[in-house]
Amino acid sequence: MNTIRRRLAFTLIELLVVIAIIAVLIGLLLPAVQKVREAAARTSCQNNLKQIALAAHNYESANGCFPPSGQGTNFAVPAGTAPVTVFVDGLGFMPRILAQMEQTQVYNAINFDLPYHHISGSNKTAFGTVIASFLCPSSIRESTGGRDNLDPAEASLPANLRFGYGLQDYGATTTTNIDPLGRTGQTGSTAVTPFRNNLAMSEGLLKLGATRLADCTDGLSNTISVAEDAGRDSRYVANVETTFFPPNTPTYPAGHLNTQTFGYGGNTARRFWRWAEPDGAFTVSGVINNKFRPMSEVNHYQAPPWRAQNNNAGNNDEIFSFHPGGANVLMGDGSVRFLKESLNVITLRGLVTLAGSEVISSDSY
């Protein structure tokens, strides 16, 4: 009598075919999953900016003006001389709107009469707080839990205060020095920022001192107030210095009011990646998502001499995001828009200025 043998397993060829089919399906599925995740992250980023917008407008309702950005510009210079960056308004934009962002406990812990990094450590607990709304979920940086690395300038602080400061992925667009005609090779231009013209500096919505609604003659819906500048950490180097005030020093000594050299002291660069830092605001000098590299140093808290060429490269003090194709910006009226990285620089300049009288059609961006 004949017996029928049953096959109890797949052949090798069949297994290879199944594995190949699974690999193809995974290859097709992963990009779709990544797109969904990025779409969710981009939406979350936009919601962060909307929270900042609501806080800024609530601040304006209570005070009759928007808060200063922290970084400002002194235009009282001789003819033919480039305006000078100054930090004379004390703490900047982000700390001032905390009370309107349901961060009252952090706000109340801040001593606004002292710099955020006062050597006494009086403000360290407040400014070491991680504010989720100041961080874009798409941002890529070293994983430090939303804080930067311990600053070597603070090695003398008590052990309970030796931790990093809260990071931020957004900044006020305080000024722009993009050439009004989009020319290259003008005063202050570099390989990184070929469209820069320091003699054509113009103020943005959040600037030196208070900004009243009537100051924005270009219209709030046509003027950027805050933009992404995502992914910065303590490997980055600002092009201005900071001074570390000793205890009981007057907050802003008169001799420092119009210089670029006050903060930690000793030729130390400002830590512009912290939401506490006034230099977190920035001048828009070129294209969105600048492709020039390197963006940062290799080491944290790099000491001089600094790499001069990396300032304004990538996310080094310019509009930059990790969203494909562009970056989110917050307009003065509270709306959030996604600007493509292909945006014409003349249009970008017009969107930053608050009173430039530029004519910008809605379809140009």
User: What is the pLDDT tens value at each position of the chain, 365 positions in all?
Assistant: 555 555 566 677 778 888 888 888 888 777 777 777 888 999 999 999 999 999 999 999 999 999 999 888 888 888 888 988 888 788 889 999 999 999 999 999 999 888 888 878 889 999 999 999 999 999 998 878 899 999 988 888 889 999 999 999 999 999 999 999 999 999 999 989 999 999 999 999 999 889 999 999 999 999 999 999 999 999 888 777 665 343 344 343 333 333 333 345 556 778 899 999 999 999 999 999 999 988 888 888 887 665 555 678 888 889 999 999 999 999 999 999 999 999 999 999 999 999 999 988 877 88
- Report in angstroms the alpha-carbon separations of 32 from 97, 98, 125: 38, 37, 42
The encoded tokens of residue 17 equal 């075919």
The encoded tokens of residue 5 equal 């043998």
- Phi/psi of residue 353, nearest 5 degrees: -65, 145
Strands 170-176 and 282-284, bridge-based pairing = parallel
Coil/strand/helix, residue 153: helix
- Report in angstroms the alpha-carbon separations of 46 from 103, 226, 288: 19, 11, 17
- Count of Cβ atoms closer than 10 Å to residue 172 Cβ: 30
Helices (H), the chain: 12-63, 93-96, 104-108, 124-127, 345-352
DSSP state of 167: B
What whole-number distance in Å separates Cα of residue 298 and Cα of residue 306? 11
What whole-number distance in Å separates Cα of residue 256 and Cα of residue 124? 23
Global pTM? 0.86
User: H helices then E strands: how many in the chain?
Assistant: 5, 10
What whole-number distance in Å separates Cα of residue 149 and Cα of residue 300? 8
Strands annotated E in the chain: 72-74, 84-86, 170-176, 202-203, 224-228, 241-242, 268-269, 282-284, 326-331, 336-340
- Residue 200 CB partners (closer than 8 Å, separation 6+): 177, 178, 179, 180, 186
* Paired residues of 224 in beta bridges: 331
